[in-house]
Amino acid sequence: MRLGKRRVLPVGAALLALATALAGCGTGEPGRPPSPDELPSASINAVDRALLADGGTLRWGINEFPTQWNPHHAAGNLGTVDTVLRGLLPAPFSTDSEGQAHPDPDYVTDVEVDTEPRQVVTLTLNPEARWSTGDPVTWRDYASMAEALSGADPDYQVLGTVGYDRIERVRAGEDEYQVVITFAEPFADYRSLFSPLLPEEYTESPEAFNEGYLDAIPATAGPFETGEIDRTAQSVTLRRDGDWWGDPAKLDRIVFRSLAPDALDAAFLDGGIDLYALPVDSGSYERVRDASDGEIRTALAPDYRHITLNGQSPVLDDVDVRHAVFLGIDRSALAESAFSSVDWPPSVVGNRFLMPNQPGYADNSGEWGEYDPERAARLLEEAGWTAGEDGGVRTRDGEPLRLRFVVPQGFAPARSEAELVQAMLGEIGFDVEIEGVPGDQLFGNYVLPGNYDLVAFVNSGSGFPVSEFLYQWSDAVAGPDGEPQWRSNVGRIGSDRIDEALAAALEPRDDGAAAERINEADRLLWEAGHTLPLYQRPQLFAVRGTLANAGAPGFGTLDYADIGYTAES
């Protein structure tokens, strides 16, 4: 979940933005907006690695500098950790730009799945794969990691246990290079597990797990090895690993440099970095689009923005009122306004799990995805909310039809989005009150305890939509005190039917049937009026024009060994 870069000092941010606007030199002609069917799933300047120059340094801009580099630790789940580790640690599967996972032959040469009587996944490992410590990558690494992340030992400060908690046991197959994973309950997204894999040494004890990767990346097994972590310059250097068993990395080094968002723009223009992700909601796009030796690579991001409705608030506990909200919001208008600065056409999504560029996507919105204020008004009328005089706020038993929309303070795009919603819902007789709350309290004090009516944020996916967000859609469970616990289902709407559909979607099937089950779960969520998906977001990267096999990968994972510069011609 990202609410955009947290604005810690609104005054400072505004001053910076003002100064940038005042001092900025050169704005380009607005480009022709591409039509939605031209939008690529990935934009990485794909070039055959044989045609690339050998050597070179890639300086990669990042906007935070992590301390905890263990991606499975509760404090280590930063996008940056993932970006850096992808060149260093093994993962049995890699995803393509449509979110489909395939075994990565550098680590796993064969995958077999049995579903009867129980789900058993057998991975045959590449026997050449070695950790930087010299030890081979074996089933023991998998077994130890599955145990650590299962949640059985509370001393492991794990990020989450989804999937690992369904594993019954992990054992060796024919030899130590075969991993046999037996699931107690079926789990369709088994390809999302062990990504990335940690060595046994760092998962066998809670201390090693919690502290082993603190300010260090001690053991690796990838095309690159850890060079230097420099906390003064906030940079991490990766060097080509001479012991790598796959195709050698084209680049000599990748240097990750952490800078504040505005400094990233300047560093790109100045040649201090060659690649970085552009925030969608800032002036950066205008600032760097005309860089002489750079370009902006744009693809469909693996995420979407949505408005969550609190199904337990006094007004919204009625599904008809929730559907009236759905019908009363013009989602294309919100999308258009959000991307007015980056020439991005509105692409409204009708699915909470699959994005339009993924196989199996279907628009499940049915009758609830249209902008139909008249029908919304009828629904409200039938629910007993009668129109006020001269089209004012509706009332029922003297109570006004009032909603509180919480937005993080100091984050202008969220506020303008809320203002649009306020105007649209105002048309049909809602009184929407926008409440700015401190960004660090938004979830803790408002969204998680159910102290809100409407809130908008982003779900970012990775191609494993059901398991990753399972608890966002699952019904409440009874807590120790008997009170229902909603876990991450902040919409507080659930039913046995939805839970059954989610469970069915987690059973391994061939792709066609799997997508059908995912869509079935989504249809039920539309019917229940649970969370209104808005639009798929773009992913923008500013890239040095000569850089190949890097940029906006969409759902895909980049192969860092293939990143390089096109040869001088």
Q: Which stretch binds another protein (CB under 8 A): 83-91, 92-100, 171-179, 262-270?
A: 262-270
345 binds another protein (CB under 8 A): no
Among 98, 468, 522, 559, binds another protein (CB under 8 A): 468
494 binds another protein (CB under 8 A): no
Among 272, 388, 400, 450, binds another protein (CB under 8 A): 272
Which residues in 57-86 contact another protein (CB under 8 A)? 57, 59, 65-68, 74-77
Among 151, 314, 391, 484, binds another protein (CB under 8 A): 151
Cβ-based nearer residue to another protein, 328 or 410: 410
511-527 and 496-505 helices, crossing angle to 10°:
160
By DSSP bridging, strand 431-437 and strand 402-408 are: parallel
Q: Name the minimum Å distance from CB 452 to another protein.
A: 14
- Positive or negative: CA dihedral 136, 139, 142, 143: negative
211 binds another protein (CB under 8 A): yes
User: Residue 134, Cβ neighbours under 10 Å: how many?
Assistant: 8
Site string for another protein, 166-205 (x = CB under 8 A): ----------------------------------------
Taking the C-alpha atoms of residue 569 and residue 566, their distance in angstroms, rounded to an integer, is: 9
Q: Name the minimum Å distance from CB 360 to another protein.
A: 22
Which residues in 514-543 contact another protein (CB under 8 A)? none
- Cα 24 to chain centroid, rounded: 32
Cβ-based nearer residue to another protein, 44 or 309: 309
Q: Which stretch binds another protein (CB under 8 A): 109-117, 225-233, 294-302, 414-422?
A: 225-233
Which residues in 423-452 contact another protein (CB under 8 A)? 439-444, 448
Q: Name the minimum Å distance from CB 356 to another protein.
A: 21
Helix H or strand E segment including 399: strand 399-400
Q: Which stretch binds another protein (CB under 8 A): 44-52, 138-146, 156-164, 429-437?
A: 156-164
Task: Report which of 145, 141, 142, 139 is spatially closest to residue 173, judged by C-alpha positions.
Answer: 139
Which residues in 291-320 contact another protein (CB under 8 A)? 292
476 binds another protein (CB under 8 A): no
Q: Are 403 and 431 in contact (CB under 8 A)?
A: yes
Maximum distance among all alpha carbons in the chain?
79
477 binds another protein (CB under 8 A): no
Among 47, 159, 319, 476, binds another protein (CB under 8 A): 159
484 binds another protein (CB under 8 A): no
Taking the C-alpha atoms of residue 543 and residue 560, their distance in angstroms, rounded to an integer, is: 15
Dihedral angle computed from the Cα positions of residues 465, 470, 475 and 478, in that order, rounded to the nearest 10 degrees: -170
91 binds another protein (CB under 8 A): no
Cβ-based nearer residue to another protein, 459 or 536: 459
Cβ-based nearer residue to another protein, 72 or 404: 72
Tell me, by CB under 8 A, how many residues bind another protein. 78
Q: Number of helices and strands (H, E) in the chain?
A: 14, 22
By DSSP bridging, strand 395-396 and strand 547-548 are: unpaired
Q: Are 432 and 426 in contact (CB under 8 A)?
A: yes
Q: Which stretch binds another protein (CB under 8 A): 172-180, 209-217, 349-357, 544-552?
A: 209-217
Taking the C-alpha atoms of residue 366 and residue 369, their distance in angstroms, rounded to an integer, is: 6
Report the amino acid identity of residue 494. G
148 binds another protein (CB under 8 A): no
By DSSP bridging, strand 167-172 and strand 178-183 are: antiparallel
SS (H, E, C) 409-443: CCCHHHHHHHHHHHHHHHHCCCEEEEEEECHHHHH
Q: Which stretch binds another protein (CB under 8 A): 21-29, 82-90, 190-198, 378-386?
A: 21-29
Q: Count CA atoms within 13 Å of residue 181 on its CB side.
A: 30
Among 175, 185, 207, 230, binds another protein (CB under 8 A): 230
Question: Any idea what the Cα angle at residue 302 is, between residues 507 and 509, rounded to 5°?
Answer: 15
Taking the C-alpha atoms of residue 93 and residue 102, their distance in angstroms, rounded to an integer, is: 5
545 binds another protein (CB under 8 A): no
Among 250, 257, 537, 544, binds another protein (CB under 8 A): 257
Q: Which stretch binds another protein (CB under 8 A): 28-36, 152-160, 357-365, 411-419?
A: 152-160
Q: Name the minimum Å distance from CB 450 to another protein.
A: 14
- Quick one: tokens of 548? 């190949």
Cβ-based nearer residue to another protein, 64 or 243: 64
Residue with tokens 């506020």: 415
460 binds another protein (CB under 8 A): yes
152 binds another protein (CB under 8 A): no
Report the amino acid identity of residue 527. E
Q: Name the minimum Å distance from CB 92 to another protein.
A: 22
Report the amino acid identity of residue 353. F
Q: Which stretch binds another protein (CB under 8 A): 229-237, 492-500, 518-526, 527-535?
A: 229-237
Cβ-based nearer residue to another protein, 235 or 519: 235
DSSP three-state, residue 125: strand
Taking the C-alpha atoms of residue 487 and residue 448, their distance in angstroms, rounded to an integer, is: 8
